[in-house]
């Protein structure tokens, strides 16, 4: 990477982790170049920008790469600090935001993957866990407009990409997010009213098509 001025994002269309970065950039009104990666044939640029993990997303800002989606979002928030603050300014509120974003990171993706990868009892266990996760998040949201309060914040950015996977989770494991965590379902709809989210997330049916492709690839019935 030459020290080219500008912002580039190495990403994969349906990745909820990449979408966090895209949403943060959109909220901040940052112009950037999007580069779609073929994850079965990773580009030289990706391997050079993220030699440790070789994963997307990678944000390259003026030639310098930033990796790991939540680290990228905090970076975006700190560099483009003049608009749309994604973190509260109070240290305790920041710690809370980091805790819940970390909770989403540790729990949602893994459990969600088990919902479509597994069958029978194992899938039932994953379903029970997912319901618990959604209900914990719902309790945290409470009656607030967003996890960030009145303003769309760090936890919202961390979690919202997974809302386009709800349909896949529901279909594979036979449950309803609205049924088990109605406030989360309503929050997801509110987030979709934001341009940054609406323009970034894919139609849940398209995500489900992708999940079906993955299921075939992994030999899951």
Partner 1 sequence: MAETAKLLGTKGSPYSHRAEVALRLKEANFEFLHEDLAHKSDMLLRYNPIHKKIPVLVHGEKSIVESLIVVEYVDEAFDGYAILPSDPYERAMARFWARYIDEKVIPAFWMSCWTDGEMQKGFIAQAKETLTTLEGQLKGKKFFGGDSIGFVDLAAGMVAFWFGILQEVAGINLLNEEDYPVLCRWADDYCSIEPVKESLLDRKLLVAHFASKKEKIFATKAPVYD
Binding site for partner 1 (CB under 8 A): 52, 61, 64, 66-68, 71-72, 74-75, 78-79, 91-92, 94-95, 98-99, 102-103, 136
Choice between 23 and 201, CB closer to partner 1: 23
Concatenated DSSP letters of 7-49: EEEEE-TT-HHHHHHHHHHHHHT---EEEE--TTS--HHHHHH
Would strands 58-61 and 64-67 be described as parallel, antiparallel, or unpaired? antiparallel
Choice between 17 and 75, CB closer to partner 1: 75
In the complex, what is the shortest distance from the CB of residue 102 to partner 1, in angstroms, rounded to a whole number?
Answer: 6
Choice between 81 and 174, CB closer to partner 1: 81
In the complex, what is the shortest distance from the CB of residue 169 to partner 1, in angstroms, rounded to a whole number?
Answer: 21
* Beta carbons within 8 Å of 31's beta carbon, 6+ residues apart: 6, 7
In the complex, what is the shortest distance from the CB of residue 196 to partner 1, in angstroms, rounded to a whole number?
Answer: 20
The dihedrals phi and psi of 33, each to the nearest 5 degrees, come to: -100, 125
Euclidean distance between CA atoms 7 and 89, whole angstroms: 25
Q: Please answer whether residues 74 and 99 qualify as being in contact, where contact means their C-beta atoms are separated by less than 8 angstroms.
A: no
Choice between 36 and 62, CB closer to partner 1: 62
In the complex, what is the shortest distance from the CB of residue 76 to partner 1, in angstroms, rounded to a whole number?
Answer: 9
Choice between 22 and 55, CB closer to partner 1: 55
In the complex, what is the shortest distance from the CB of residue 13 to partner 1, in angstroms, rounded to a whole number?
Answer: 24
Torsion (CA) 145, 147, 152, 154 in degrees, nearest 10: 180
| DSSP code for 202 | P
- Token pair 């966090």: residue: 20
């Amino acid at each position: 990477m030459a020290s080219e001025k500008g912002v580039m994002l190495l990403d994969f269309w349906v990745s909820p982790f990449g979408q966090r970065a895209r949403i943060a950039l959109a909220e901040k009104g940052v112009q950037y170049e999007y580069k779609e990666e073929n994850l079965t044939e990773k580009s030289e640029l990706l391997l050079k920008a993220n030699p440790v993990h070789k994963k997307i997303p990678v944000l390259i800002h003026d030639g310098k790469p930033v990796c790991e989606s939540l680290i990228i979002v905090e970076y975006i928030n700190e560099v483009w600090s003049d608009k749309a603050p994604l973190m509260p300014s109070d240290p305790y509120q920041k710690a809370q935001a980091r805790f819940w974003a970390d909770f989403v990171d540790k729990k949602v993706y893994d459990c969600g993957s088990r919902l479509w990868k597994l069958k029978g009892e194992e899938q039932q266990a994953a379903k029970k866990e997912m319901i618990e996760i959604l209900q914990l998040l719902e309790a945290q949201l409470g009656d607030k407009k967003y996890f960030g309060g009145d303003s769309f914040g760090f936890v919202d950015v961390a979690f919202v990409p997974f809302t386009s996977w709800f349909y896949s989770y529901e279909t594979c494991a036979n449950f309803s997010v609205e049924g088990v965590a109605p406030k989360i379902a309503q929050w997801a709809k509110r987030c979709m009213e934001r341009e940054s989210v609406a323009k970034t997330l894919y139609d849940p049916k398209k995500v489900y098509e992708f999940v079906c492709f993955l299921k075939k690839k992994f030999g899951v019935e």
